[in-house]
Chain A
Amino acid sequence: MIEVRNLSKVYQSGEIAVEALKKISFTIEDGEMVAIVGPSGSGKSTLMNLLGCLDTPTSGSYFLDSTDVSKANDDELAEVRNNKIGFVFQKFNLLARDSILHNVETPLIYAGIKKKERKERATSLLNKVGLADRLDHNPNEVSGGQRQRVAIARALVNNPSLILADEPTGNLDSKTEAEIIDLFHELNSQGHTIVIVTHSEKVAQQTNRIIHILDGELVKDEVVLG
C-alpha cells in the first residue's frame, strides 16, 4: 500500500528553486491499477521517482507497506527498490552490453540469489513475455516492443508488489502499446499494484483510477468505471 502525505520536492539549481511537487497527498491500495496524467512539466516523473525510492522528498512522508521510506538511507532504499518495486521506463534502460537473459537476472544478483535459480526465474519470465528464443541476444538486437517486454520481465523477476511505469509506451507504436498494456492488465489481475504515467487518454482509460497532476498539485482523482 502506498500512502503519501504532504509530499514536496524542490529542485534547487543555484538561485532558482523549482517546486516540482507541492504538498501532494494520496493513497493507493494494493492491487489497484492507477494512471497518472498531466501536461509536460507538471511533476509526474518527479512523483514517480519518489514513489520508486530513486529520489528523496524535500518534505512530507511516504509510507510504503506502512514503513516510512522517506527517512531511509541509501542502502535501505536500494533494498526497497530491489524487493518491492519493479521499474519500466520510457527509454527501456536495459544494460546494452549484457544479454537479454542477463538483464533480467540482474535484480536477482543484487538480491543475492544463486545462479541456477536466477536463470530459471529469468527464463520463465522471458518465456511469459514471448522472448524465450532471444535469451542470448543483446537488447540492441531486438525491436522496441521486445525491449520493453524485456524491461517488464526484469521488473517482475523479483516478484515485487509494486510496478512503476513512466510512459512505458511512449516510444512504441499503437499496436505494440496495446500488447504492453494487455501485459500490465494480466499482471494486475495477478495482484501486482501498477502505477503508469501516460500521455495517452486511451491508456489512462484502461486503468481503474486516474490521478491528474498540474503544476505539482493533485487536481483531480477520478475512478474509471470499466
Chain B
Amino acid sequence: MILETFIIAVRSLNSNKLRTLLSMLGIIIGVGAVIAIVSIGTGSQQQITSNISDLGSNLINIDQGWRHRNSSSTEFTLEMAEYIELTSPAVKKVLANLEASGLLIKEEINLRATIVGTEGYYQEINKYYPLIGKFIDKAAVDNASDVIVLGSELATELYGKQNPLGQKIKFNYNDNNFVFTIIGVMEEKGRGITGDLNDQAYIPMSTYMNKLANSNQVSGFIAQANSSKDANEAVEQIEYFLSKYLGDDDQFRIRSQDQILDTISSVTESMSLMLGGIAAISLVVGGIGIMNIMLVSVTERTSEIGIRKALGAKKRDILTQFLIESLCLSGIGGVIGVGIGYLAAYLISNIGGWPFVVNSLSVMIAFTFSLLIGIFFGIYPAMKAAKLAPVDALNYE
C-alpha cells in the first residue's frame, strides 16, 4: 500500500517537472550551501594548520610582555638563551631574535628590509634553507664575518636574474653604512604566522651585536622543545625560569605554536559555524517554500482528492500521498544539493588552493535535516488534504 502511494506521489511530481524543480530549489541551495561552507571551512583550516605545523609544532615564541614598553625594566639579553637551555630540560635549543630594520642599497636601488642576526640552527628550527649558496655557518659566527644571506624576494628585486653570490651590498642602519658580501639566497617560503620571510636578510649574530647594534639586547627568543609532546612542559619550565630571573610575570609572554594554532582553529571554526548557521536558515526557508507549493498543490488538486476519497481512499492514504510528495521534494532536493555542494566545494577549494575535504557528517546532517524539513513543512498541507470532506472536494470548482 505504501509502495502504491509512493508511486502515485512520484507520478504526480513527475507530471509537473518545472514546478517540482522550482519547489526543490530552496532545499537544493540550502543543503548545497551547508556542505560547501563546512567543506571550505575545514579545507582552509587544514591549510592554515599545515602551514603552521610546517614551522614545527614544538616551537615556542618568547616575547617581551606589555609592561616592558611602559616602564624601564630588565631587557632581554643574549645570555638568557643559554640560561633557558640550561634550566629547562624539555628545551632543546633557544635562538635569540635579533632584528633591525634599515635600507639595503645596491647602486641606485634601495630597499627597506629587516636584517636578522642569527646562526646556522635557524634553518632547522624554521625548516627554511638556502636555494643557492650557503647559510650563516659556525665559522661566520665565530669570526663575526661581514656576510649576508638574502630572502628570495630581496634577491629578485635587487638582482633580477643575475647571480648575486659574491656581490657586495650596503646596509644603511642608524645613519651608518655597513658592507656585506652575499653568500646565499634563501628558498621561497609561504607566508606563515611569523609574517613574510622572503623579504628578510640574515647576518651572523655576532656581526649583528658587535658591529650593527653594538649591544647584546634582544627582542625575543624562539625555543625549540625536544618534541611536540614536550612543548607544554617546555613552556612551563621557561615560564618558571623567566619569572624567577626577571622577577615579574608581566615582563614576558610565552606562546607555543600549539596555542597559536588553537586560537586560529577556534576562529576559523566559529567562522564556519556561523556561515553554516546562515546556510541552515536558508534550508528552513527552502522548507517554507515546499510548504507553500504543497498548499497550492492541495488547493489545486481538491477535486483529485475528492475523487480518490469517493473511490475509497482513507484519510491515511491521502495524508501519506501528500507527505511522500513533500518528502520526495525535500529528499531529491537534498540529494541534488549534496551534489551541488560537493561541486561548489571542489571548485572553490581549487581556486583557493586548499585541500578538498567534505565532512561526511555535515553531508548526513544536511540531508537528514532536509528530510525532517520535508516532513515538518509537509505535514500541514497533507493534513489539510486528508481532512477534506469527500462531497466538498468533489464539488470544488
Interface: A168 (CB within 8 A)? no
- CB pair A55 B310 closer than 8 Å: no
B293-309 toward A: CB 8 Å interface, digit per residue (1/0)?
00000000001101111
Known: A78-B309, A78-B312. A109 touches B4 (CB 8 A): yes
- CB pair B315 A54 closer than 8 Å: no
Question: Complex: how many Å from CA A109 to CA B11?
Answer: 15
Among residues 71 to 123 in chain A, which have CB atoms less than 8 Å away from a CB atom of chain B?
74-75, 78-79, 81-83, 87, 89, 93-98, 106-107, 109-112
Among residues 295 to 343 in chain B, which have CB atoms less than 8 Å away from a CB atom of chain A?
303-304, 306-317
Closest beta carbon of chain B to A138's beta carbon, Å: 10
- CB pair B307 A78 closer than 8 Å: no
Residues of A within 8 A of B308 (CB): 95, 106, 110
Residues of A within 8 A of B307 (CB): 93-95
The segment from B195-203, B234-242, B387-395 that touches chain A is B387-395
Residues of B within 8 A of A54 (CB): 309-310, 390-391, 394
By beta carbon, the residue of chain A nearest B310 is A87
Chain B CB within 10 Å, residue with most, of A54, A83, A96, A112: A54
- CB pair B389 A55 closer than 8 Å: yes
By beta carbon, the residue of chain A nearest B389 is A55
Interface: B351 (CB within 8 A)? no
Within 8 Å by CB of B312, from A82, A94, A97, lies A82
By beta carbon, the residue of chain B nearest A75 is B314
Residues of B within 8 A of A81 (CB): 309-312, 390
Closest beta carbon of chain B to A62's beta carbon, Å: 15
Within 8 Å by CB of B313, from A55, A87, A110, lies A110
Question: Complex: how many Å from CA A95 to CA B12?
Answer: 11
In the complex, the 3 A-B pairs of residues with the closest C-beta atoms, listed nearest first? A82-B312, A110-B312, A54-B390
Residues of A within 8 A of B316 (CB): 75
- CB pair A98 B11 closer than 8 Å: yes
By beta carbon, the residue of chain B nearest A113 is B4
- CB pair B394 A111 closer than 8 Å: no
> Beyond the given A75-B315, A89-B394, A97-B15, could you list 6 further A-B residue pairs with CB under 8 A, ordered by the A residue number?
A49-B391, A54-B390, A74-B315, A83-B312, A87-B310, A97-B12
Known: A54-B390, A54-B394, A93-B394. A111 touches B12 (CB 8 A): no
Interface: A147 (CB within 8 A)? no
Residues of A within 8 A of B317 (CB): 110
Question: Complex: how many Å from CA A98 to CA B14?
Answer: 11
Question: Complex: how many Å from CA A140 to CA B377?
Answer: 33
- CB pair B309 A93 closer than 8 Å: no
Chain B residues within CB distance 8 Å of chain A: 1, 4, 8, 11-12, 15, 303-304, 306-317, 389-391, 394
By beta carbon, the residue of chain B nearest A80 is B312
Question: Complex: how many Å from CA A39 to CA B188?
Answer: 99
Chain B CB within 10 Å, residue with most, of A55, A93, A110, A154: A110
Question: Complex: how many Å from CA A49 to CA B394?
Answer: 10
Known: A93-B303, A97-B11, A97-B15. A52 touches B315 (CB 8 A): no
Question: Complex: how many Å from CA A154 to CA B310?
Answer: 11
Residues of B within 8 A of A93 (CB): 303, 306-307, 310, 394
Chain B CB within 10 Å, residue with most, of A79, A93, A154: A93
Known: A93-B394, A97-B12, A97-B15. A52 touches B313 (CB 8 A): no
Closest beta carbon of chain A to B308's beta carbon, Å: 7
By beta carbon, the residue of chain A nearest B304 is A95
Closest beta carbon of chain A to B318's beta carbon, Å: 10
By beta carbon, the residue of chain B nearest A109 is B4
Question: Complex: how many Å from CA A81 to CA B308?
Answer: 11
Closest beta carbon of chain B to A120's beta carbon, Å: 16
Show 9 A/B contacts (Cβ-Cβ < 8 Å), sorted by A: A54-B391, A81-B310, A93-B307, A93-B310, A94-B307, A96-B304, A110-B311, A154-B311, A158-B312
Residues of A within 8 A of B4 (CB): 109
Known: A95-B304, A97-B15, A109-B4. A55 touches B315 (CB 8 A): no
A21-61 toward B: CB 8 Å interface, digit per residue (1/0)?
00000000000000000000000000001001011000000
